[in-house]
Amino acid sequence: MTSSDVPRTGRCFGDGNPVYEQYHDEEWGRPVHGENALYERFALEAFQSGLAWITILRKRPAFRTAFADFDPELVAAFGDDDVARLMADAGIVRNRAKIEATIANGRALRDLHASGRTLDQVLWSHAPDRSTHTRPVTWADVPAQTPESRALAKELKLLGFRFVGPVTAYAAMQACGVVDDHLATCPAVAGD
């Protein structure tokens, strides 16, 4: 079955929730570049681990405030007082390991920049060859991880990043448009 044989229906996710709909329509699967934007996506994917994505989307404004708009240089300078502040912030997910990982990742990103590289370069260097890509028909056709996400997770860990396993790496790849897993029936891919 080709995507043209599949009748168009609603979004592949998010229908009925304005926050989810906006994220689906305006962000998910679209290419993201820029260090702060990528750092934010990786941080939010880590915070999402074990939770519903809508929880993270609803808390996104509070996350941005709490983590200095995901400026990695500023977050890299966070110390114990900031961890305590974040653990007391009911607007975000108060998970010490995830908070500390986000700070550690800001430091790893700062070190990556000092070496002359960017997160943008690292992420996009793991983009799969999509020349023969077949758009998924159902969510069962979408992998949780891929060889590319395993390689990305391995490289990020070697660079000092935390909470970046292959599943989280793949979710970030989807969120940043490195892969586009919109389902064949999704209006976001009409005319694809």
| Sequence ranges of the binding site | 24, 182, 186
From first to last of its 192 residues, the chain has per-residue pLDDT tens of: 333 444 445 899 999 999 999 999 999 999 999 999 999 999 999 999 999 999 999 999 999 999 999 999 999 999 999 999 999 999 999 999 999 999 999 999 999 999 999 999 999 999 999 888 889 999 999 999 999 999 999 999 999 999 999 999 999 999 999 999 999 999 988 755
SS3 letters across 81-110: HHHHHHHCCCCCCCCHHHHHHHHHHHHHHH
Question: Is residue 40 included in any domain, yes or no?
Answer: yes
Query: What does the alpha-carbon distance between residue 63 and residue 76 come to, in Å, rounded to a whole number?
Result: 15
Q: pTM for the full model?
A: 0.91
Question: Is residue 192 included in any domain, yes or no?
Answer: no
Query: How many domains is the chain partitioned into structurally?
Result: 1
Question: Is residue 13 included in any domain, yes or no?
Answer: no
The CA-based dihedral angle spanning residues 36, 39, 41, 43, taken in that order and rounded to the nearest 10 degrees: -130
39: enclosing H helix or E strand: helix 35-48
Question: Is residue 9 included in any domain, yes or no?
Answer: no
| Sequence ranges of the binding site for Zn(2+) | 24, 182, 186
Question: Is residue 18 included in any domain, yes or no?
Answer: no
Question: Is residue 7 included in any domain, yes or no?
Answer: no
CATH number of the domain residue 46 falls in: 1.10.340.30
Q: Which residues are catalytic?
A: 23, 45, 53
Question: Is residue 167 included in any domain, yes or no?
Answer: yes
**Segments forming the whole domain that contains residue 152:** 24-185
Query: What does the alpha-carbon distance between residue 20 and residue 115 come to, in Å, rounded to a whole number?
Result: 37
Contact between 71 and 84 (Cβ < 8 Å)? no
